[in-house]
Amino acid sequence: MKKRTQKHTDLLQGTLDMLILRTLIYGAAHGHQIGKHIQRTTNDFLQMQHGSLYPALHRLERRGWVVSKWEMAPDRNREFKYYRLTKKGKKQLVVEESKWKRMAEAVARVMWPATTEES
What digits encode the pLDDT tens for the residues 80-94? Answer: 999 999 999 999 999
Angle at 25 between CA 82 and CA 38, to 5 degrees: 75
Q: What dihedral angle (degrees, nearest 10) is formed by the CA atoms of 103, 107, 113, 119?
A: 120
* pLDDT value for 30: 95
Question: Tell me: the pLDDT tens digits for 32-76?
Answer: 999 999 999 999 998 888 888 999 999 999 999 999 999 988 777
CA pair distance 17, 106, nearest whole angstrom: 21
* pLDDT value for 74: 79
Q: Is the pLDDT of residue 4 over 50?
A: no
pTM: 0.83
* pLDDT value for 112: 92
| Domains of the chain by start residue, with CATH | 15-111 (1.10.10.10)
